[in-house]
Amino acid sequence: MDTRSGSQCSVAPEAVLNNGDLVLPPRISRVNGWSLPLHYFQVVTWAVFLGLSSATFGIFIPLLPRVWKYIAYVVTGGIFFFHLVVHLIASCIDPADFNVRLMKNYSQPMPIFDRSKHAHVIQNQFCHLCKVTVNKKTKHCISCNKCVSGFDHHCKWINNCVGSRNYWFFFSTVASATAGMLCLITILLYILVQYFVDPGVLRTDPNYEDVKNTNTWLLFLPLFPVQVQTLIVVIIGMAVLLLDLLGLVQLGQLLIFHIYLKAKKMTTFEYLIKTRKEESSKHQVARKDPCAQIEDGFLQQGDGALGSSAQGAKVKSFLLIYKSPCHFCTSVNPDGDSSAKEADGVRSLSSLGVKARDSLQIYRRPSPFCSTVHPEGDSTAQEADDEPSRSSL
């Protein structure tokens, strides 16, 4: 890996805002989801999975009648085991581009990107950080600081990038987690209904033969029976049901979203770029004619605050007459020189026009009328006109 010093190292790492958080690339590229540091979302995910697994197979399934108990063990156990396998694979796979995996030394620190030398990290399918040629679908992930083939997104829940190498394992992880949540909700609802209808159906395990008190329940059957009161079972059941419902809503939305993406043959990254472009184009259309928007705003204000007075009617008539072209805006050319168009017609207006101009001063301060966007992206705003002389009245 190229670790040359000089101007390249004198430039700070590129920082990116991600949902309001400043993300700095790690100096050592991440290999997979188990590369340190672990993300707290990842820790929460595994803690919830282990907790739900213990509650499902140690508390709730043993309460089911004999036939349903075996079915639940097979179906729910199969789904949970499948989820465990695909979850581990999605986290363990290195989704990096083939050339990165072939030539990269993960123990070496990455060079720092110098934007004064290159406009983009990847140009002409060559990554200036990984120093390799990559394919068209490859993107350089700032969280992993490496090029990911078929980049979809960086998932905090598995603490790994999702690319073409592990996308279907990620998708299977989400789908199996959703299916497991549905199975657990079904079991919990059955137990809840039977508890109020016929509690004896839930006490068919042979270990209950020695339990005489109907308010005593056994957990972790059949290997480690633990006696608890009814209230404890109810609290555990309601807590697990609430957690399960919240997880199902989140996972269901994520699953539907990725089904939609596959139907559209898009990645998450492409979807986000497309959405940003659409929002940007809407903003450009909204700013295309700022003077017309301002005049429309005056007309709307006239309908409210001024509409009941003769002065408001005069202002509206004045704006309608001189609405095109706009006499109240100062345009700024790309070179930065501003040229104000004199409102010649306004100077020769009758006393009606003069009074209307004076009325407009109420609404002109403190904010300017128009702003134009500089070709480089900087916006400058200027007053539309010099303030009319009060002596004209």
- Catalytically active residues, by annotation: 155
Residue 166: pLDDT band (50, 70, 90) is: very high
- Higher-confidence position of 70 and 333: 70
Q: What is the sign of the dihedral through the CA atoms of 310, 312, 316 and 321? A: positive
pLDDT of residue 72: 95
State the pLDDT at residue 358.
52
The pLDDT of residue 210:
85
Encode 51-83: b = buried (16+ Cβ within 10 Å), e = exposed.
ebbebbbebbbbbbeeeebeebeeebeebbebb
To the nearest whole percent, how much of the chain has pLDDT over 90?
50
Which of the two residues, 155 and 391, has the higher pLDDT score?
155
Residues in the chain: 393
Write the DSSP symbol of residue 365: S
Best mean pLDDT range from 43-52, 279-288, 364-373: 43-52
Task: Convert the pLDDT of each residue in 95-107 to its tens digit.
Answer: 999 999 998 888 8
In this predicted structure, which of 146-155, 171-180, 217-226, 248-257 has the lowest mean pLDDT?
217-226
- Partners of 122 in the β-ladder: 127
Q: At what angle do helices 66-92 and 167-197 cross, to 10 degrees?
A: 150
Tens digits of per-residue pLDDT, 203-220?
A: 988 888 888 888 889 999
**pLDDT value, residue 289:** 56
Inform me whether the pLDDT recorded for 391 exceeds 90.
Answer: no
Rounded Cα gap, residues 384 and 291, in angstroms: 9
Give the Cα separation of 145 and 147 in Å (integer): 7
Report residue 302 as tokens. Answer: 């006239």
Tell me how far apart the alpha carbons of residues 340 and 345 are, in angstroms, rounded to a whole number: 14
Specify burial of residue 119 (Cβ count, 10 A radius: 0-12, 13-18, 19+).
exposed
Single out the residue of 192, 219, 195 nearest to residue 208, CA to CA. Answer: 219
- Position with higher pLDDT, 195 vs 1: 195
Return d(Cα 120, Cα 127) in angstroms, integer.
9
Q: Give the pLDDT band (50/70/90) at residue 18.
A: low
| Cα→Cα distances 352→46, 311, 314, 346, 356, Å | 75, 9, 7, 10, 6
Tokens for 364, please give them: 């002109």
Is the pLDDT reported for residue 249 higher than 90?
yes
Return the pLDDT at 115.
85
Mean pLDDT of the chain: 77
Query: In the predicted model, is pLDDT for residue 223 greater than 90?
Result: no
Confidence band, pLDDT 50/70/90 cuts, at residue 113:
confident
d(CA 295, CA 273): 34
Q: How many CB atoms lie within 10 A of CB 132?
A: 20
**112 vs 343: which has the higher pLDDT:** 112
* Average pLDDT of the segment spanning 146-157: 95
